[in-house]
Amino acid sequence: MGEVELSCLAYVKMYLHACLFPRCSVNGLLLSSSPAGGAVCVTDCVPLLHSHLPLAPITQLALTQVDVWCAQTQQRIVGYYQANACVSDCSPTPCALKIADKIAEQCNNAVLLMIDGGKMSPDYRVPPIVMYERKDSRWTLKDKHTIMLRQWEETREIAGQLLDSGDHSLLVDFDSHLDDITRDWTNQKLNAKIAELASPANAEQQLKAM
Amino acid sequence: MASVSEMYDVTWEEMRDKLRKWREDNHRNSEQIVDVAEELINEHASKLGDDIWIIYEQVMIAALDCSRDDLAWTCLQELKKQFPGSQRVKRLGGMRLEALEKYEEAGKQYDSILQEDPTNTAARKRKISILKAQGKNTDAIRELNEYLELFVGDQEAWHELSDLYINEHDYGKAAFCLEELMMTNPHNHLYCEQYAEVKYTQGGLENLELSRKYFAQALKLNNRNMRALFGLYMSASHIAASPKVNAAVKKANVKYAAWAANQINRAYQLAGRGTKENKCSVKAVEEMLESMQITMS
């Protein structure tokens, strides 16, 4: 089907979420600030849970709250990501398919992204992700060539830097927010840090273009 | 790199006491344990006395959790020297094999412990953990059920079983495990709340009503449990909106939902003061509560 672009911000937060809870399955929502139609641009993500993913109440609550927040900030929910606790199996679980189905009801080129835990070590040169799209009411593997990560090297650098400095502990997922509601699941602080690290690259790009 | 004692300005006694607290509370903050204990052992081993052996055990398990096989190996050797032929040390050796993904060898290690001592619960549970690590959930469930027939009071095992059932989407059986836990731990708000979540997930009017009751019970035990508060709000709202309930039930649930919404708003107002950070989340909750009220009436 169509092309999917994954932004640095979305990738880094997803990656850090998986790193923050290495012993649990984690999941989250993929968002886009671009208008519908054409390629899917995943510009941000909201990390959701790190415990009891299949249970309904908190997932429903999170989906509703993120929906409201998206309406307030001109974003749309365009996908779902999950990283399984068991590193040897990165196939979508029934709960992943269920939530992705729900998202697809509102967004017809929604994507389902599984993080491949086995490929997350620093010596792996390619993004450790597997993407699925909806074809004939089933989630099918997406052609790798239709998935784009601009500035992949810089993105990977930034993720690594934040891990090394321990800043990944700044990440707040919805579960952590419920444990302490003063913590912000929209992650404004972490977003700012990532933007700071990303901007030298942007500045260089702009210089080259000029 | 600065040492832990320098960075946090703590004495070796404070570090030792912190480790004890983490041991007693069964915390899995393995990276921290490794940092603190490694320094303690390297710099202050002589002062620790007999405490050092239990610290070796604690840091060895933490080291395995962080892929620090070098440290785990050192600890294991020290323990083997001090306690030759010990079942407890043998089990640690098995755990190291598990960490290296040598599951067959680990299994044999645990089997040899069980041959000498068939009541050794630790070895039995490690064997079940191996099944879980290999993704063999149905086998793990079967073995854990057999284990619980013999060791019916093992809380940790009941909780593990409920988690396994939840992951297999077998909510009825998960609820049964949580019922066992609630019976033996009537003051634990987390078990009530988890039970309520499972009932909610099962769906249907009867289960929703049960879930609402148990969310309420969890709140009675701990009025700061936000999951229980939101759960109460959502279950009461769904019951009130159901076409199958009579007017009296609807009225009661509208009241419960309104109370919960009020509490939620108060909690978020309190949280929103003083920090600019979570303004977004506060606004999102406000709007969500408003929109859900509209669909209810």
Q: What is the pLDDT of residues B38-50, one digit of tens each?
A: 888 888 888 888 8
pLDDT over 50 at A1, yes or no: yes
**Residue B173: C-alpha distances to residues B147, B159, B199 (Å):** 16, 12, 11
- Is A177's Cβ below 8 Å from some Cβ in B? yes
**pLDDT exceeds 80 at position B1:** no
Token output for B171:
């909510």
| CA–CA dist A79, A114 (Å, integer) | 11
Nearest to B201 among A56, A61, A189 (CB): A56
Residue-level pLDDT at B68: 92
Is the pLDDT score of B274 beyond 70? no
CA distance A161 to A183: 23
pLDDT band at B277 (very low <50, low <70, confident <90, very high): low
* Cα–Cα distance for residue pair A59/B177, rounded to 1 Å: 22
Query: Pick the residue with more confidence: B34 or B278?
Result: B34
At a CB cut-off of 8 Å and minimum separation 6, what does B37 contact? B19, B55, B58, B59, B62
Residue of B67, B198, B280, B290 to mutate for A, most A C-beta atoms under 10 A:
B280
pLDDT of residue B211: 97
Burial class (CB in 10 A: 0-12, 13-18, 19+), B103: middle
Within a 10 A sphere around the Cβ of B116, how many other Cβ atoms?
11
CA–CA dist B66, B264 (Å, integer): 38
Beta bridge partners of A133: A111, A140
- pLDDT, one tens digit per residue, over A173-206 is 999 999 999 999 999 999 999 999 987 655 555 5
Please tell me the distance from the alpha carbon of residue A200 to that of residue A198, in angstroms, as a whole number. 6
Q: How many pairs of residues across A and B have Cβ atoms under 8 Å apart? A: 91
Q: Which residue has the higher pLDDT, B275 or B109?
A: B109
Cβ under 8 Å to A: B residues 49-108:
65
Contacting residues of B for A89, CB less than 8 Å apart: 135
Nearest to A57 among B197, B283, B287 (CB): B197
Rounded CA separation B214/B188 (Å): 12
* pLDDT value, residue A201: 55
Using DSSP's 3-state secondary structure scheme, residue A43 falls into: coil
Q: How far apart are CA B121 and CA B115, in angstroms?
A: 12
**Residues 11..30 of B with a Cβ closer than 8 Å to A: which?**
28
Chain A contacts of B65, Cβ < 8 Å? 23
Give the Cα separation of A29 and A17 in Å (integer). 12
Identify the pLDDT of residue B285: 74
Give the Cβ contact number of residue A196 at 10 Å.
10
Would you state the pLDDT for residue B192? 97
Secondary structure (H, E, C), A97-134: HHHHHHHHHHCCCCEEEEECHHHCCCCCCCCCEEEEEE
What pLDDT, on the 0 to 100 scale, is given for residue A145? Answer: 86
Which has the closest alpha carbon to A178: B221, B211, B224, B256?
B224
* Whether residue A18 has pLDDT greater than 80: yes
Q: What is the CA radius of gyration of chain B?
A: 25
CA distance A125 to chain B (A): 22
For residue B275, pLDDT over 60 is answered with no
Instruction: Name the residue among A55, A60, A181 with its Cβ closest to that of B198.
Output: A55
pLDDT, tens only, B151-188: 999 999 999 999 999 999 999 999 999 999 999 999 99
Q: Nearest CA to CA, how far is A188 from chain B (Å)?
A: 7
In angstroms, the separation between the Cα of residue B223 and the nearest Cα of chain A is: 13
Residue B119 is given by DSSP the state T
Q: Which of B33, B35, B32, B79 is nearest to B53 (CA)?
A: B79
CA dihedral sign of residues A22, A24, A29, A30: positive
Whether A89 sits inside 8 A of B135 (CB atoms) is yes
- Name chain B contacts of A178, Cβ cutoff 8 Å: 226-227, 230
DSSP label at B116?
H
Q: What is the mean pLDDT of residues A153-158?
A: 91
Q: What is the mean pLDDT of residues B223-232?
A: 95
In this predicted model, what pLDDT tens digit does every residue of A31-74 receive, in sequence order? 999 988 878 999 999 999 999 999 999 999 999 999 999 999 99
* Contact (Cβ atoms closer than 8 angstroms) between residue B157 and residue B166: no
Mean pLDDT of chain B: 91
- Asked if A65's CB is within 8 angstroms of B281's CB, the reply is yes
The pLDDT, as a whole number, for residue B45 is 85
pLDDT > 80? residue B282? no
Which pLDDT does position B279 carry in this prediction? 64
Over residues B100-120, mean pLDDT = 95
Q: How many Å separate Cα A205 from the centre of its chain?
A: 25
Phi, psi torsion values for A35, nearest 5 degrees: -70, 160
Contact B197 A185 (CB under 8 A): no
CA A79 to the chain's CA centroid: 8
Specify the pairing of strand A111-115 against strand A138-141.
Answer: unpaired
Query: Of A153-157, B3-7, B199-203, which has the strongest mean pLDDT?
Result: B199-203
- Contact between B235 and A57 using a beta-carbon 8 Å cutoff: yes
Residues of A numbered 32-71 whose beta carbons fall under 8 angstroms of chain B's beta carbons: which are they? 52, 54-58, 60-61, 64-66, 68-69, 71
Query: What span, in angstroms and rounded, lies between the C-alpha atoms of B53 and B75?
Result: 9
CA pair distance A82, A17, nearest whole angstrom: 10
pLDDT at B252: 95
pLDDT band at A210 (very low <50, low <70, confident <90, very high): very low
The answer to whether residues B208 and B232 touch, using CB atoms and an 8 Å cutoff, is no
In the chain, the amino acid numbered A133 is: E
Amino acid (one-letter) located at B27: H
